[in-house]
Amino acid sequence: MEKVYLDNAATTQVRPEVITKMQYALATFYGNPSSTHSFGRSAKTAIEKARKTIAKYLNAQPSEIIFTSGGTEADNMILRCAVRDLGVQTIITSPIEHHAVLHTAQELEKECGIQVSYVKLDGFGNPDSNHLRTLLAADDHKKLVSLMHVNNELGNIIDMDELVDICKEYGALLHSDTVQSVGHFEWDLEKTQVDFLTAAAHKFHGPKGVGFAYIRKTSGLRPMIFGGSQERGARAGTEPFHNIVGLEEAFIAAYDNLAAERAYVSGLKSYFIKRLKEELPEVAFNGYSGDLDHSTYTLTNVRLPFDAQKSLMLLFHLDLKGIACSKGSACQSGSTMGSHVLTAILPEKELQKPSLRFSFSKYNTKEELEYTVKVLKEFSTS
């Protein structure tokens, strides 16, 4: 076995039907969507169709879906505009959010003088709801809570309905980075009334460079990017029509096949955990990533019983064997620092052991997982 791709939390393989749809769009609807002639109108019609499709699956209004370059832009836009337009003086988040949220909040703290508060976590990385209530009740400042539905490194799942209720109780706005969630879990935004969420197509077998922000229509946010009336005035710039069409195709495929693909991928994760425990009995799982009831079915974060010196070569060894996985978020792969997520929840002794994130998709097989366990077992005895 030469190539095993187990880094689907970083990005996913694009579905063949998505590629076909994008190629057709590039060749056929090449007019500027803002142009009034037939070439432009054809492209604009397809964009609005994509917007309606996404809104229908999420039980939202089409006007609440704003196409962006991805999750990072969407997170930046929502947090920055909430401070600028809605009078937010305090952002409450957690130490294990994606850096698209953490770094934006920290910059807003420096630029605008807002307060950033961090909710306490338990040993598994779950936010303490009682501490969240304490932070919300601390003063009369306008507050925005930003907590991700599915953690991108641990896979922990937050109870969004409970979080919505808490925020409503204290009159706080709620934003959730749902980049690891949209396309893998059902959403009903009439039932689960978050104010803002974000998504990226490349996390559910769509193209890179496109995503969307859900912005509840009563929010009052103004644009962050100026220069045109695109996206109903919410985001200037010529729309990447082919990417939006690809996003729509991937979104439809994700939700039309959700039950079957979730069952299949859940089986892969369960099998991988079982085989790791059999072959490496001292293995541990960070957060709730080893618990299928409390974490996403798409990933697990494994702490391996290897010493620090041996650990230095592990990722390199796996790569030589054709196995792709990661130490954490791909967005921080160029950093010399360890995972900020694991640093927040693990004692120093456990941080010395290598932790790897393995993430799965419909394109993986049990044979690939068996090969990966075999390579890890051989490395442990070498």
Sequence-ordered list of residues with C-beta below 8 angstroms from that of 211, at least 6 positions apart, any chain: 67, 68, 69, 70, 71, 73, 74, 179, 198, 199, 200, 201, 247
Q: Which of 171, 176, 151 is nearest to 161 (CA)?
A: 176
CA distance 363 to 353: 29
Which pair of structure tokens corresponds to residue 64? 């609440």
Q: Which of 267, 279, 265, 270 is nearest to 371 (CA)?
A: 279
Say if CB 211 and CB 93 are below 8 A apart: no
CA distance 340 to 294: 21
CA angle 33, 24, 247 (to 5 degrees): 65
Sequence-ordered list of residues with C-beta below 8 angstroms from that of 217, at least 6 positions apart, any chain: 61, 63, 64
CA distance 63 to 231: 9
- Number of Cβ within 10 Å of residue 175's Cβ equals 27
Say if CB 131 and CB 120 are below 8 A apart: yes
Compute the residue count for the chain.
382
Catalytic residue numbers read 331
User: β-pairing, 90-93 with 115-118?
Assistant: parallel
CA distance 340 to 296: 20
